[in-house]
Amino acid sequence: MDTPLFHSGVVAIIGPPNAGKSTLLNQMLRQKIAIVTPRPQTTRNRIMGIVNGAGYQMILLDTPGLHEAREEMNRQMVRVALESLNEADVTLFLADSTDMAANKLEQRAEEFKKYLNRITSPVVLVLNKRDLLSPERLLPVIDWYRTLHAFDAIVPVSALQGEGVELLTTELVARLPEGPKYYPDDIPTDATERFIAAEIIREKIFLLTRQEVPYSTAVVIDAFTEGEAGRPVIIRATILVERSSQKGILVGQGGAMLAAIRKSAGADIGQLLGCRVRLNLWIKIRKNWTGNPAILRELGLA
Ligand SMILES: Nc1nc2c(ncn2[C@@H]2O[C@H](COP(=O)(O)OP(=O)(O)OP(=O)(O)O)[C@@H](O)[C@H]2O)c(=O)[nH]1
Ligand SMILES: [Mg+2]
């Protein structure tokens, strides 16, 4: 008797900022690995998540949003996203279906085409946030994308609510090549606990501060000490900012902002690790670090 075929490979998730790429990764993994915020350019690195199912293993790559980047850090982010295409067996191009309603699409058409033309693997278009559109308003969006590019499949989903994600998985798996199981079943990601902890702190800064502050912020874990049985894990992290005014905002009145970040991030990291966490945060000014290739390399962002 023939052994049933096993399918495996890499699915690169690319698309404009804020479309819901990280939300989709978390939804498909059924656990939160990538941070999510209502603001664009949240994700800065490639984040891998491994989804296992009957007869397949899908290695998902969440990537930074594609945009016209001017700053050095942003150029690196776009580079990381486009490089993921080289590894992809299937590309998942994720767009926000409400962009059409917001009339943002025409101006993006040329930009989208530029990215789509670089893709050599099969492309599945995912139209996200369908929970925000009635079916009648979704139809013209699908038609518009049909004329934009010859997609291999178009799947409307709500990454937030999980709607359409099962069908999406089927469409993706159908396009994965035959291959081995590359990773054991119990490994959801290659991201380290240190990396995810730093990301969670960054997420709280995105959620709690305004304007340019989160975009001028990076988080470095200086120490991560496993506690003895029953003792908390002690994490010491430095938040980099570019200017003293930003440090002032992050500290807040009487230290209130830093305390709020510490509390919120500490709770989430504790949940991730399944134990108590003591989080110590420090703030350091490094002028123009987002434009400094040496510092970006040091931070793993170049
Ligand atoms: N209503 C609704 N909101 C969604 C959905 N998916 C994502 N969002 C929201 O859209 C915002 C952006 O989501 P992210 O997952 O961070 O988007 P992203 O594409 O990873 O963004 P970048 O990392 O900045 O490129 C967040 O506020 C999400 O909660 C969805 O299906 N429906
Ligand atoms: Mg993201």
The CATH number for 262's domain is 3.30.300.20
Q: Which amino acid is at 189?
A: T
What's the rounded Cα separation, in Å, for the pair 107 and 251? 39
Residue 181: both structure tokens together:
């199981």
> Taking the alpha carbons of 132, 138, 141, 142 in that order, is the dihedral positive or negative?
positive
Mark which of 146, 174, 202 sits at the end of a domain.
174
User: How many A from CA of 67 to the centre of ligand 2?
Assistant: 13
Say whether both 128 and 253 belong to one domain: no
Ligand 1 closest atom vs CA 41: 24
User: How many A from CA of 214 to the centre of ligand 2?
Assistant: 14
Domain contains 179: no
Say whether both 153 and 211 belong to one domain: no
**Bridge partners of residue 127, in order along the sequence:** 95, 156
Mark which of 127, 143, 174 sits at the end of a domain.
174
Say whether both 85 and 225 belong to one domain: no
CATH number at residue 42: 3.40.50.300
Instruction: Give the residue, out of 14, 18, 45, with the most ligand 1 atoms within 8 A of its beta carbon, to mutate for a pocket test.
Output: 18
Residues in the chain where the model's pLDDT stays below 70 = 1-3, 105
Instruction: Give the residue, out of 24, 32, 36, 301, with the most ligand 1 atoms within 8 A of its beta carbon, to mutate for a pocket test.
Output: 36
Say whether both 27 and 146 belong to one domain: yes
**Closest CA to ligand 1's atom 9:** 20
Domain contains 84: yes
pLDDT for residue 108:
82
Say whether both 223 and 125 belong to one domain: no
DSSP letter string, 278-289: EEEEEEEE-TTG
Domain contains 291: yes
Say whether both 155 and 242 belong to one domain: no
Say whether both 111 and 79 belong to one domain: yes
pLDDT for residue 230:
82
The three-class DSSP label of residue 13 is: strand
Say whether both 166 and 209 belong to one domain: no
* Residue whose C-alpha is closest to residue 47's, from 95, 12, 3: 12
Q: What is the dihedral of CA 218, 220, 226, 227, to 10 degrees?
A: -70
Say whether both 86 and 229 belong to one domain: no
What's the rounded Cα separation, in Å, for the pair 263 and 278? 10
Mark which of 128, 146, 174 sits at the end of a domain.
174
Say whether both 161 and 31 belong to one domain: yes
Task: Please list, residue by residue across 210-233, b when 16 or more beta carbons sit within 10 angstroms of its beta carbon and e when fewer do.
Answer: eeebbbbbbbbbeebeeeeeeebb
Domain contains 277: yes
**Closest CA to ligand 1's atom 10:** 20
Domain contains 188: no
CB 260 within 8 A of CB 252: yes
Domain contains 184: no
Which residue is listed with tokens 């004329």?
147
pLDDT for residue 229:
80
Phi and psi angles of residue 281, each rounded to the nearest 5 degrees, phi first: -115, 135
What range defines the domain where residue 17 resides?
7-174
Instruction: Give the residue, out of 23, 96, 130, with the most ligand 1 atoms within 8 A of its beta carbon, to mutate for a pocket test.
Output: 23
Domain contains 133: yes
What's the rounded Cα separation, in Å, for the pair 145 and 154? 9
Nearest ligand atom owner, CA of 21: 1
pTM score, two decimals? 0.97
pLDDT in tens, 36-90: 999 999 999 999 999 999 999 999 999 999 999 999 999 999 999 999 999 999 9
The three-class DSSP label of residue 228 is: coil
> Taking the alpha carbons of 259, 265, 269, 271 in that order, is the dihedral positive or negative?
positive
User: How many A from CA of 137 to the centre of ligand 1?
Assistant: 20
Domain contains 108: yes
User: How many A from CA of 39 to the centre of ligand 2?
Assistant: 9
Ligand 1 closest atom vs CA 157: 31
Say whether both 43 and 170 belong to one domain: yes
* Residue whose C-alpha is closest to residue 125's, from 39, 41, 31, 16: 16
Q: Which residues form the pocket of ligand 1, taking CB atoms under 6 Å from any ligand atom?
A: 17-23, 36-38, 40-43, 64-65, 128-129, 131-132, 158-160
Strands (E), 24-144: 47-53, 56-62, 90-96, 123-128
Instruction: Quote the number of domains for the chain.
Output: 2
**Closest CA to ligand 1's atom 6:** 20
Say whether both 259 and 166 belong to one domain: no
